[in-house]
Amino acid sequence: MLLHIDSSADTTADSVTRQLTDTFARTWHASHGSTADCRHLDLSAAPVPPISPAYTTLGRRVEREGFVPPAKVPALIESAAEQREWELTLPYITQLLGADTLLLGVPMYNFSVPATLKAWIDRVTFPGALTDPDTGESLLRHTRVVAVMARGGGYGPGTPREHFDFQMPYLKAYFGNLGVPSENLHLVAAELTRVDVPPQLAGLEDLAAASLNQARAQLTALAAV
């Protein structure tokens, strides 16, 4: 199953990440057949509610019990507020665990990931939910993650803003900590995507086009597997 998540606040006409995730999804469908299961979440159109005190209280109680699978969490719920948080959370966890490939559209906002995506991350990362309770191994160890990043400027190695990039390092750290092997984590970035907006990027159009074409080619190849 392909779990396709977009987090850009822009419409597809203005969003590079939405255009690129669409390229991946269409190629994936062509390769896997029209009946292949694909779920699409638009976090801008349907935001994930931010976690609340009831979520954190329940999470700590669960964490004290060790690795508790989702099926056993209801037995530890002590209030209506906790019940509501769990009912909000479980569907997102179930979707993630059911995915063979997770496709993320991640524009860079203020040097990091969008708040809409961070809300999803905070909710699905419930204590123990992504860990095998019998072995302690990550339940995402066989999941392929493809993160499609768009960066308005240039943040690659050797650029003046290289050290302003808290987007790619964050995604590497987050998914690595969840147990996604490095060979299953694909971070594809299109740089200089706002080359037509701020005057200071004028003259970099060819570099922007090359970066976008390279990202599109990488995603097309990944989707065909």
pLDDT tens-digit series, residues 68-114 = 999 999 999 999 999 999 999 999 999 999 999 999 999 999 999 99
pLDDT value at 35 more than 80: no
pTM of the model as a whole:
0.95
Q: Which amino acid is at 88?
A: L
Burial-class residue 164 by CB neighbours within 10 Å (0-12, 13-18, 19+): middle
Sequence ranges of the domains in the chain: 2-223
Q: Does residue 6 contact residue 18 with C-beta atoms inside 8 Å?
A: yes
pLDDT value at 39 more than 90: yes
How does the average pLDDT of the chain come out, rounded? 95
Query: For residues 181 and 142, what is the distance between their CA atoms, to the nearest angstrom?
Result: 8
Q: Which amino acid is at 35?
A: T
pLDDT value at 67 more than 90: no
Pairing of strands 144-151, 185-191: parallel
pLDDT digits (tens, 9 = 90+) for 140-167: 999 999 999 999 999 988 899 999 999 9
Helix (H) or strand (E) run with residue 63 in it: helix 53-64
Give 176's pLDDT tier (boundaries 50, 70, 90): very high
Task: Give the DSSP letter of residue 161.
Answer: T
- CATH numeric code, 2-223: 3.40.50.360
Over residues 44-69, the mean pLDDT reads: 96
Longest pairwise C-alpha distance within the chain: 61
pLDDT at position 36 is 81
pLDDT at position 46 is 98
pLDDT at position 115 is 98
pLDDT at position 206 is 87
pLDDT at position 201 is 83
Over residues 218-223, the mean pLDDT reads: 97
pLDDT value at 196 more than 90: no
Query: For residues 139 and 69, what is the distance between their CA atoms, to the nearest angstrom?
Result: 11
pLDDT at position 199 is 83
pLDDT at position 200 is 81
**More confident of the two residues 111 and 199:** 111
